[in-house]
């Protein structure tokens, strides 16, 4: 449904040198930004304006200057991100090319429909590890992303710290994961590698919504993405074994591309993080919208809490524990 875009977006586009925005369509899918398809005389673009208070039930605020770092991430991830057209830092607004869903379907929608393609999962891993390796080879990139505070506000606090409050008997372990993640600063991290932020394009995956961009631990991106493949087993149970094969394909393809440190060391950190992120998606500030019944939540809690109590070194151990639970 088309409508007139908000005045704040029209004004921001004018400051970017992109006048003529009179019609647009509000897009769905985000809790942290207003996202619009805007019609300009030159064609359609996508416009995103960061919100100071996120659209979740919990009281969750984040600085709008994260939009600046998202644009910087897009410039660093050329070939794996939409083309950046302009930015208005004052309002936290950026403009990018509009990629139509007809030839850039959303990975989340495919998973929802039970389409579990190992090759897609491997291509996501290959793209992600390429971004990590490219940045790890150029540590000067770190200076462009002084975003420790933003990453804490948007990721570490609402996921791991909030979950520690909900599970005080696992708090020490969850807070230790925060400290480990903060201490391993090795590459440019996207911070929200979720199927809802990955388009399956004709030339490979395209990553969206790098609002959490951070010079930090790439194990976070790997664990964050694998977490969603575990959770999708509850959303589309008939495809659960396919999702677990995608988990294997993504983990293996990523490991093959790790060049900046021993792959086993990164896997150990990702395996440590994954149970905390898993638990966070039912008891943190940003629960997944499709795990709603207490029985399913308890399955996540049962596996995650056991793995937090006895941390695994291998991602395969987590996959095995979850398969045992969902096949029971």
Cα four-point dihedral sign 300, 306, 312, 316: negative
pLDDT digits (tens, 9 = 90+) for 91-142: 888 999 999 999 999 999 999 999 999 999 999 999 999 999 999 999 999 9
**Rounded Cα–Cα distance for residues 159 and 164 (Å):** 9
pLDDT digits (tens, 9 = 90+) for 204-214: 999 999 989 99
pLDDT at 56: 45
pLDDT digits (tens, 9 = 90+) for 34-58: 888 998 888 899 998 877 554 444 5
CA distances from 168 to 173, 250, 253, 281, 302 (A): 10, 32, 36, 17, 15
pLDDT digits (tens, 9 = 90+) for 145-204: 999 998 998 899 999 999 999 999 999 999 999 999 999 999 999 999 999 999 999 999
pLDDT at 59: 47
Q: Which domains does the chain have, with CATH numbers?
A: 2-97 (3.30.200.20), 107-327 (3.90.1200.10)
Q: What is the DSSP string of 266-297?
A: HHHHHHHHHHHHHHHHHHSSS--TT--SHHHH
Token pair of 225, please?
């993405």
Tokens 């925060």 -> residue: 178
Burial (0-12, 13-18, 19+ Cβ within 10 Å), 251: buried
26: confidence class by pLDDT, cuts 50, 70, 90? confident
CB 30, CB 50: distance < 8 Å: no
> Is 255 in a helix, a strand, or coil?
helix
pLDDT at 62: 54
CA distances from 156 to 195, 214, 220, 302 (A): 20, 12, 10, 22
pLDDT at 20: 81
CA distances from 152 to 126, 199, 282 (A): 26, 26, 19
pLDDT digits (tens, 9 = 90+) for 256-303: 999 999 999 999 999 999 999 999 999 999 999 999 999 999 999 999
Q: How far is CA 126 from the centre of its chain?
A: 16
More confident residue, 33 or 49: 49
10 Å Cβ neighbour count for 40? 18
């Amino acid at each position: 449904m088309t409508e007139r875009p908000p005045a704040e977006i029209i004004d921001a586009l004018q400051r970017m040198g992109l006048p003529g925005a009179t019609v647009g369509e509000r897009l769905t899918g985000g809790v942290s930004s207003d996202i619009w398809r805007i019609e300009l005389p030159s064609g359609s673009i996508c416009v995103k304006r960061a919100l100071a208070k996120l659209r979740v039930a919990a009281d969750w605020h984040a600085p709008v200057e994260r939009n600046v770092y998202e644009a910087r991430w897009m410039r660093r991830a050329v070939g794996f991100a939409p083309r950046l057209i302009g930015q208005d830092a004052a309002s936290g607004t950026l403009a990018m090319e509009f990629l139509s869903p007809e030839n850039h379907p959303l990975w989340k929608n495919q998973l929802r429909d039970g389409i579990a393609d190992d090759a897609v999962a491997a291509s996501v891993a290959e793209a992600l590890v390429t971004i990590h390796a490219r940045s790890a080879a150029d540590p000067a990139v770190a200076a462009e992303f002084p975003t420790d505070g933003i990453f804490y506000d948007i990721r570490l606090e609402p996921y791991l710290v909030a979950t520690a409050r909900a599970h005080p008997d696992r708090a020490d372990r969850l807070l230790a994961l925060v400290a480990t993640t903060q201490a391993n600063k090795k590459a440019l991290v996207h911070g929200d590698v979720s199927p809802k932020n990955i388009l399956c394009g004709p030339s490979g995956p395209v990553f969206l919504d790098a609002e959490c961009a951070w010079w930090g631990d790439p194990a976070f991106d790997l664990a964050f993405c694998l977490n969603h493949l575990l959770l999708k087993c509850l959303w589309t149970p008939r495809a659960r074994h396919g999702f677990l094969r995608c988990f294997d394909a993504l983990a293996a393809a990523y490991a093959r591309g790790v060049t900046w440190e021993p792959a086993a060391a990164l896997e150990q950190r990702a395996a440590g993080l994954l149970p905390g992120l898993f638990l966070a998606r039912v008891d943190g500030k940003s629960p997944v919208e499709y795990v709603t019944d207490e029985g399913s939540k308890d399955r996540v809690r049962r596996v995650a809490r056991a793995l937090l109590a006895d941390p695994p070194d291998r991602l395969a151990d987590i996959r095995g524990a979850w398969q045992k639970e969902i096949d029971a």
